[in-house]
Structure formats: structure tokens, C-alpha cells
């Protein structure tokens, strides 16, 4: 169970960074997607929540 949560969190963070690279926010006005570490944390939280629901 813990391994599934860990993998879900890591995959979520990686997808968050991918979202930052592909979409991002070029002018810095977006609160979540303006910086890569914020987007990775947001993705990690979403990945954790999704992996814990299964």
C-alpha cells in the first residue's frame, strides 16, 4: 500500500513538471503554474490523492 502511494506521488510530481514544461505560465501571473516546484507539489498532492482512492 505504501509503495502504491509513493509511486502515485512521484508520478504526480513528474506529471506536474511535465505540465509546467508544456503549458506553464510564461508571464508569471499564474499562482500555481508560474514556478516548477509549485507545479510539482500540486501534481504530487493530486497523485497522492488519486493513488490513495484506489
Q: What's 24's DSSP letter? A: -
Query: Would you give per-residue pLDDT tens digits along the chain (54 residues)?
Result: 899 999 999 999 999 999 999 988 878 788 888 889 999 999 999 999 999 998
φ, ψ at 29 (rounded to 5°): -90, -10
Instruction: Please give the model's pTM, rounded to 2 decimal places.
Output: 0.87
Number of folded domains that form the chain: 1
What residue numbers bound the domain in which 10 lies?
2-52
Quote the pLDDT of residue 6.
96
The candidate with the shortest Cα–Cα distance to 41, out of 19, 12, 18, is 12
Q: CA of 39: how far to CAs of 16, 19, 42, 47, 48, in Å? A: 5, 8, 5, 12, 14
Amino acid at each position: 500500500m505504501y509503495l502504491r502511494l509513493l509511486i502515485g506521488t512521484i508520478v504526480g510530481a513528474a506529471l506536474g513538471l511535465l505540465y509546467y514544461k508544456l503549458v506553464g505560465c510564461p508571464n508569471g501571473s499564474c499562482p500555481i503554474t508560474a514556478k516548477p516546484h509549485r507545479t510539482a507539489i500540486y501534481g504530487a498532492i493530486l497523485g497522492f490523492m488519486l493513488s490513495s482512492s484506489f
